Amino acid sequence: MNSHPMLPQWPEGEPPSRPGRKLGPVAASVGAAHRAWLEPVRIRFLASGLTVTYLSERTGYAKSKISELLRGIGRYPRWEIAYSVMHVLDMPTWPMRRLWRAAAVEARKKPAWIDRCIEKVALSIGPALPPVDHRGFMEGKKRPYMAYTRAFLPDAGQAHRLVDETFDVLWLRWHEALTSPNIERFAWRVLRQAVMARTPHTDDGRPDLRAAGFNTVALNRTPGPQQLAQIEESMTLLQAMSRLPDQQLDVMVLKHMRGMHDAAIADVLGVPLASVHLADRYAKQQLTNAIYPQPDPGGPSQ
Amino acid sequence: MTPIDELLARVRLLDDPVVPADVVPDAPGEDTDTHPLLDAASPGPAPGPGRGWDSETAGDDLTNLCEAVVAHTAATSLRNFDTEHLPAPPGARTLGCILQLAQDEEGARFWWQYAAGAGDDAASYCLYLHHLAHGEIALAIWWQGQTRTGTQPDPEDATLPGAPEPMINLDASTPTMLRVLRHLVGSAERRRTELVSAVMDYVPSAVAVGYLDNPDFEIPLPRADFADHIGIILAVTAVYGDKTGTSRCHPARWPRLPGRPEYPRTRRLPRPKSSRPRNSRHILADFDTLSSGLLLHD
């Protein structure tokens, strides 16, 4: 049984439809959880070479409805239509249903509506478990992914849901992941995108890490009267850290906030060990310059 | 270990922190449908104050800071009024501190927000401490971000308490300066000056009255003659010297002044919505006594 979602084959004798208008972008108002399933669907659709007309004919839904679904425009789509499109595109249905449901909650759909949608479509096809290699890969990533996520989103429930979503998206895109040059990097980018979509950001557009200053081991050991000073020290450092380039920031989070070893960090990020060392060194330099600025020696201004 | 290594060593996170309630996102509801690899039944510990984090410390620090602000800036910051009701931002910040000390937290918050909106860093910092003291971490963090941490005071503007010039221009201050200040003043032996006492006696009731004068508005507007009365208090303490040690200006110690038209007695007002200082009747009576002994300058 083929557990990898393969691209649909053209039925024999039927000429491919001419491609219609280019698929428009995802609407800006689409939430993070909605985007999590919509983007894999769009990627699959674009890779398939199929047209909206074809999807419309196969699913029985109007072309306009298909088009709206693929762009995330209008009301949140019912599970029926989403399932129909994914079925034609031969996408694994169990993770899709989980993602669809999570996004329905995010879109503030009532639980009764969600349940009714789901009941209408009996899922009897498709494996309930991801491919074995996906499972193996994810097993090793569970802890570091949770650790990273909780640095930005300290609530365990929210972090669980986010990593859950990441695993499901990777299942959906598993073929793409396997054929990518570096599967760890591919997976890391999916997680990072999901985390950044939900982390509060500062005015200068960087992820806001300051809440983590309240959850340090050091603070836990600090007596009451000195706690404010400790919090403020941490927030100053975290504010400077958030301005680091993405990879340096990730290394600092995993290494110093989470205590991971360099080799483990390299494996999680999908980068060479040497670049973890380099990132750490450059990041410390940047942080030192930001937090302990040197007085102007009096030379030409920079 | 370099300094940055030391900072980084102290930013290591707890494995399983207790998350402040205001940082927890809305839970999406019961969801038993999870990826087979994740434990479905472990949503984590319930939200609460951060583990080991003591919000009372912030409350104490805020009290110390407010005392310092009032003691060192009331004379200058309360002089300037943009209109007859509205102080300039430094005065608004001082007003906020006075109200905080008088336990009118809503009033304090209002005036600090007003001042912070006009760019007063010290007010943003007061709001940061205020929200920390209430366990409102997300709000505290937001206000901390509004405080410009990069601003350095000019050396000539910054003077420490006890130096020949006791006034500190907190407009040029930074959170570091404020931290130093609050630790220096954080003494149980602190005694208020007469000016501070007089201002502390007058302001809470003058602002509380404002709720009633404007029933449509739940904001602590000072009454119309607020600026004048503050001017009087400042003038008196300037003339007779601002001495530490006594808790209250005593009219019997002032020289006899020429008689003047009788000051209309304030009618007894019903209790406003916000909490009043305990001795408000006493304060009102004292103020009438105080003002009837003064020469009014129109």
CB A96 within 8 A of CB A86: yes
Residue A41's H or E segment, with its range, is: helix A32-48
Any residues with CB less than 8 A from the CB of A120 and at least 6 apart, and which?
A79, A80
Between chains, do A155 and B2 touch, taking CB under 8 Å as contact? no
Shortest CA distance from B47: residue in chain A: A155
Mean pLDDT, to the nearest integer, of B118-139? 90
Q: Is B6 an interface residue toward A (CB < 8 Å)?
A: no
Give the confidence band of B40 by pLDDT, cuts at 50, 70, 90. very low
Higher pLDDT: B145 or B4? It is B4
- Nearest CA to CA, how far is B53 from chain A (Å)? 7
Tell me: pLDDT of B248 over 50.
no
Residues β-bridged to residue B81: B87
Task: Judge whether B9 is closer than 8 Å to chain A, CB to CB.
Answer: yes
B37 and A139: CB-CB below 8 Å?
yes
If 0-12 CB within 10 Å is exposed, 13-18 middle and 19+ buried, where does residue B58 land? buried
Tallying the residues shown for chain A, one arrives at 302
d(CA A41, CA A272): 32
Please tell me if residue A234 touches chain B, with a CB cutoff of 8 Å.
Answer: yes
What are the backbone angles phi and psi of residue A151, rounded to the nearest 5°? -65, -35
Q: Is A195 within 8 Å of A149 (Cβ atoms)?
A: yes
- At A144-192, the pLDDT tens digits run 999 999 999 988 999 999 999 999 999 999 989 999 999 999 999 999 9
Would you say residue A42 has pLDDT above 80?
Answer: yes
CA distance A283 to A241: 8
Q: Which of A26-35, A137-146, A218-227 has the lowest mean pLDDT?
A: A218-227
Which residues on chain B are in Cβ contact (under 8 Å) with A141?
Answer: none
Task: Note the ipTM here.
Answer: 0.82
CA distance B51 to B218: 36
**Is the pLDDT reported for residue B154 higher than 60?**
no
pLDDT tops 50 at residue A14: no
Contact B37 A98 (CB under 8 A): no
How do residues B43-69 score in pLDDT, each as one tens digit? 444 444 445 567 788 888 898 888 888
DSSP A64-98: HHHHHHHHT-SSPPPHHHHHHHHHHTT--HHHHHH
Q: Give this prediction's pTM.
A: 0.72
> What is the token pair recorded at A19?
């491609």
Q: What is the pLDDT of residues A283-295, one digit of tens each?
A: 999 999 999 887 7
Question: Between A236 and B20, where is the model more confident?
Answer: A236
How far apart, in Å, are the Cα atoms of A39 and each of A27, A45, A69, A105, B232? 12, 10, 11, 18, 69
The closest alpha carbon to B269, from B260, B281, B278, B255, belongs to B281
B42 inside 8 A of chain A by CB: yes
